[in-house]
Every structure is written in C-alpha cells, then in structure tokens.
Amino acid sequence: MGFRSDLGFLFRTLARLALFAFVLTLPVTIFPIIFGIGGGVSFHLWSHRQVEEDTNALTYEVERKSNLDYWSVPGAPTIHDFLDRNGPFHIPALTTLDWVEKLCLTLPNEHCHADAAGIDKMASLEGLARKLTFGYSSCSTQYWVYVTSFPEWRNDPWDDAFSSLLQYLYANPLPPETSIFHLDCSAAAFLCGVWGVKYPSLVHLTVENGTLADREAKSKIVKQDDAQEDSTWLLDLLTSEYTYNYPDEDLLPVTARIIELPLDGEDASKILPRNVFPTPDLQLRTIMLDLVLDDIHTLWEEYSPSRQMMRRYQDYFDARCERRGTVWYYLNEIDNWYTDHFLDPIFGKEFTSGHGPMAGIQGVLFLIAGALSSVARLPFQLGWEIYSWYFGLGWDGLPLGTHTLPDEWADDAGGSAEGGNMLGDMMAGFWDSMAREIKSQESEKAGKAAVTEKADM
C-alpha cells in the first residue's frame, strides 16, 4: 500500500506541475492552442466534404460525357475533338476521363482497384509511367498543363497572358518533345480536386530517363552497400511501390511538379530580376520558355498529394479568417495584434515565425485534433453504413453485396472484380453503373454504324 500511495502522490504532483506550467505559459500559447485544435477539427470536416464534392464532380462529368457522346456521328470527328480544336485556347484540354490517354501514360495496377484504393486514384499523379513502345514514339517527354477556370467567360490577366504566349509559340514553336495542354477546373473539377490544384497554376510532367528496372537496380546497389547507412531515404526514393501490367524494363517513370501562380517572395526572386515587375506575361514566359529542365527540377519539388491538400486547406482557412463577422476573423485579428505588440517585442520574430516554437505547438495540436476528430466520427460513419446496408442503399439503388467491378477492369488490374468491403462494395456499384452506361452508349453507336452502312449500300 505504501508503494502505491507514493506512486499516486508522484503522479498527482507531476499532474499539478504540468497544469501549473500550462497555466503559466497560457498567455503565450493561447492562440496557437486555439488555432491548432480548431484547425484540426476544421480540417477533418473540410477533407470529408472534399471527398463528397469530388465524387459528385466525377458523376457529373461522366454523365456530361455520355450526353455529349450522343451527338457524335459514326466515322466523323467526335464532339470532344471539336471542343479540343475550338476550345478557349485552341489547344487540347485534359478531362477526367481522357487525361491519361492524351498524355500517353500508364497508371499502376493499384490505382485500378476502386474498392481498395478509392476512385480518386484514377486521377492520381503518383506512380505514373510511360510504356516504351513504337506507339508512343510520337508522344512528348515534357508536358505543360495550364490550370484555369471559366476561361471563355471572363477577361482574366492570367488567361490573357497564356493566350499571348500561345500566339508567340505559333511563330516560335517549342521543341517537339514538349507539348502544352490546359485544364479547366470548371469542366474537370474531379481532376483539379484530386490533384489539389487551383487557378492559376502550371503542372509540369517529365518522362524521366532510365526505366523502372534501372531504378530498381540502383536501389539494390544502395541496399547492398553497408557503408551507406544514411542512404535509406535514397532506397525509398528509388524503390517502386507499384506494380504494372508491363515489365519494369518497358516502363519509364514520370514525375509531376505543380507551380502555383503568381510567384512571389523568394519563389519569384529565384527566376525573375528584382528590378522588373513580375507581370503574368513575364512569369509565364520565364517559366515555360526560359527555364531548362534542370532548373525546373531544382526549383520545384516533386508532386506530393499531402502538401497540395494542406495548401488548399490553408486557402480555405485563410478565407474563413478574412471573412468579416465570423469568429475566426476576430480571433485572427486579435492574434495578429497580440503577436505584433506583445510576443514579437519580447521574444523576437523568430519565436513566432513559421518555423518557430509557436508554429510547432500549433502543428502538434492540429495533428492531434484531426486524429481525434476522425476517431470520434467512426461511430457515426459506421452507423450510417449499417443503416444504408439495412435498407439496401447502394450507389445505384441495388442491394449491397450484388455489386462487382466490370470484368475487363479487373483483368486490366490483375485482380478480382469483387468488392472487398462495405465501402468498396458501394464504390463497385458506382463503377458498375458507369460500365452499364458506357456499354449502352457503345451499343447505340454500333446501331448507328449499322444503319449508316445499310444506307451507303
């Protein structure tokens, strides 16, 4: 009993000391605590809502494509070809359903399992590859994708600058290994949502030299070299975590980088003269025409979905803090005043900077609050899944358990067509409805072709 009482006394003493220290530091850490906890909860709700919005965007885009396919005439250019030639910039546009084909890319098998990976993986920029075949010999090895929104409905300085750049390229074309596309987030919201891009931005894709097999060989060399104990990061970088339908000897890795515009601060000073005002026209011309591939690789990191997600959430949270009349607006104003007039004069700007202790406290609390929010949501999510299962509410209204992926999709992915869990079953139902819609469209096209052939005879 004496040991237990002593141990209990020790814990109580430590708890009181921790509480005392917390109260003493509260005048300094109060706002990081509020923004860390509130930001974590807000991020969880925001990210869940983004999944729903992206899913709704995908269903809308599939339905719109089906409606446009109805107006296509067998043997003639499709309505999609017409829109590509006569679009806002008169260059091909990337859409959710054709971007892989237009860029001559291959998705990993893991991104084809809708029930396991999620429908967002069909538009993922991770694990992309280019097959070494004669059919792709005419495809470019570098791509620029200009991200815009409603370009034909408004007069925007960035869209005007991009149009001016294209007019210049008509007389001074880029090398044949470089191609330019555009992505309209109003028409391909699913693609923009999964990539985490906003208007205006540039997406740069590079088909790297050396096959995936060469990368695997380099990883084995690093692994066998016991002297390089600090090279585990290189091993992780070189080792492919994906599988493909083709041998690694026939695949070239593809890397993506996202350049968000306008460039400002240090990002702008790296490539633009300090005595020149960085107009949209100057920024686009400098990035797309003047920089070489090595410069692009050095100045911008490879695509990271988590980094892009945090950027979009930061935009969302900043907009909330700037909206007058909201609680976050007044908290942000008080925090800025408190930092400028109290914390910075006493502790210095390094203490409150983005890399200082205050940011670290807020970041830790942000992660903890986000994780706890996800855990707290599990009972409600499970309850909804049980409710939908009990009443037979699948994606397309069919009873759960009857959904399967299309056989041709399963064969391409090298796996089973059956849904693996309740959520996967619902997603499989979604793909099932898509497959039926596409099949009906193909049957209608075949019927039109037969009628046309009889008329010609």
Burial status of residue 400 (CB atoms within 10 A of its CB: 0-12, 13-18, 19 or more): buried
In which order are the strands placed within the sheet that holds 142-148? 129-131, 251-260, 201-207, 142-148, 178-184
Three state DSSP letters for the chain: CHHHHHHHHHHHHHHHHHHHHHHHHHHHHHHHHHHHHHHHHHHHHHHHHHHHHHHHHHHHHHHHHHHHHCCCCCCCCCHHHHHHHCCCCCCCECCCCCHHHHCCCECCHHHHCHHHHCHHHHHCCCCCEEECCHHHCCCCCEEEEEEECCCCCCCCHHHHHHHHHHHHHHHCCCCCCEEEEEEECCCCHHHHHHHCCCCCEEEEEEECCCCHHHHHHHHHHHHHCCCCCCCHHHHHHHCCCCCCCCCHHHEEEEEEEEEECCCCHHHHHCCCCCCCCCCHHHHHHHHHHHCCHHHHHHHCCCCCHHHHHHHHHHHHHHHHHHCCCCHHHHHHHHHHHHHHHHHHHHHCHHHHCCCCHHHHHHHHHHHHHHHHHHHHHHHHHHHHHHHHHHCCCCCCCCCCCCCECCHHHHHHHCCCCECCCHHHHHHHHHHHHHHHHHHHHHHHHHHHHHHHHHHHC
pLDDT of residue 232: 44
CA 240, CA 248: separation in Å to the nearest integer?
Answer: 10
CA 55, CA 51: separation in Å to the nearest integer?
Answer: 6
Q: Which among 325, 319, 361 has a CA at the least distance from the CA of 35?
A: 361
CA 63, CA 54: separation in Å to the nearest integer?
Answer: 14
Is residue 280 within 8 Å of 148, Cβ to Cβ?
no
pLDDT of residue 239: 45
Is residue 148 within 8 Å of 56, Cβ to Cβ?
no
pLDDT of residue 392: 63
**For the chain, domain boundaries:** 48-322, 327-352
The DSSP bridge partners found for residue 179 are: 143
CA 418, CA 402: separation in Å to the nearest integer?
Answer: 9
Sign of CA dihedral 148, 149, 150, 155: negative
* CA angle centred on 195, ends 147 and 406, rounded to 5°: 120
pLDDT of residue 84: 74
Mean pLDDT by 10 residues, the chain (457 residues): 70 81 81 90 90 84 77 71 76 89 87 65 88 75 92 82 92 89 91 93 92 70 49 44 82 93 80 76 91 89 92 93 90 90 83 82 89 86 73 53 42 38 45 55 58 53
Residue for token digits 């037969």?
450
Do the bridges between strand 178-184 and strand 201-207 make them parallel or antiparallel, or are there none, so unpaired?
unpaired
